[in-house]
Amino acid sequence: QVQLVESGGGSVQAGGSLRLSCVGSSYTVTMAWFRQGPGKEREGVANIVGVGDARYADSVQGRFTISRDDAKNTLYLQMDSLKPEDTAMYYCAASRYRQSQRSLMQSTTYDYWGRGTQVTVSS
């Protein structure tokens, strides 16, 4: 099994920034960030396959950047220009397999999940 541990969440004001980290117990080729706000369904935020094939939800495009450091088995999510709508529990997810582009924003694609880190953005 692969264990994932997120960190970096916190409370910030609108317009601020946070950087989330996810440390895995081993390398996984496909990784992603999901989030779930109060009363909302879990949604894909960003994902990355291999070195640099990244995708973003329209709602975060241009504000968030996903990256990875494979030497450290670590996934990052740099979040800038945060909005109150970004308030959610953020989860790191991973798969040992390469997935199709169409499936990368689907939670069922991923085999491993972290426990989440809370991000709260106030106006």
**Tens-digit pLDDT profile for residues 15-69:** 999 999 999 999 999 999 999 999 999 999 999 999 879 999 999 999 999 999 9
* pLDDT tens-digit readout, 69-87: 999 999 999 999 999 999 9
Task: Give pLDDT, residue 86.
Answer: 98
User: Can you read off the two tokens belonging to residue 104?
Assistant: 């990368």
Q: In the chain, how many H helices and how many E strands?
A: 0, 11
pLDDT of residue 32: 98
